[in-house]
A = this chain, B = another copy of it.
Amino acid sequence: MITGEYRYSLDEKGRLMIPSKMRAEIAGNVMILTRGVDRCLWIFPTDEWKSISANILESTSLFQEKARLIQRRIIAPAQEAEIDKSGRMSIPQTLREYAHLKKECIVLGMLRYVEIWDEETYMRYLESTEDSFKEAAEELGGKINWWHS
């Protein structure tokens, strides 16, 4: 289970640190990097990626508009990325541009995968979703049993 929120800066060579606590959770040093849903990048451990991409393929058809949307945005841009000996990953330019990565980045552990955000973009995201978050939390609070009885 990968979690944690970290801030690192992209160096001049386009490399980004992956926090050691996350590295420790990942088998091997190769991961799959792709576009995420909200102007962020997603990084999956390879086995996680296999099951997710298979899942997406199964549940959608080539002849559906929506399926192609997802495939083109999530599946197609995916590429392998290696973590170097000092724990950094280099982020390909097209993906860097997509997520507007400049210097300061946020690395977010989402349990089964990792998200990379441009810091400013992330802050704006948090602000602009404050209200809907509170609603969602309130709603969720009613649905799940927070305290396993």
Contact = CB atoms under 8 A, between A and B. Distances in A.
Contact of A139 (B66, B94, B129): B66
Contacts of A110: 71-72, 75-76
B51 A148 contact: yes
Interface in A87-129: 92-95, 108-112, 115, 126, 129
Q: Which of A5, A68, A79, A143 is packed against the most chain B CB atoms within 10 Å?
A: A5
Copies in the complex: 2
Contacts of A133: 69-70, 73
Contacts of A12: none
Interface residues on A, range: 35 or more
Contacts of A79: 3-5, 21
A133 B76 CA distance: 14
Contacts of A145: 55
Interface string A38-58: 100000000010011101110
Given A38-B68, A69-B132, A111 B4 contact: no
Contact of A136 (B7, B70, B115): B70
Contacts of A134: 37
A126 B73 contact: yes
A28 interface: no
Contact of A112 (B52, B56, B63, B147): B147
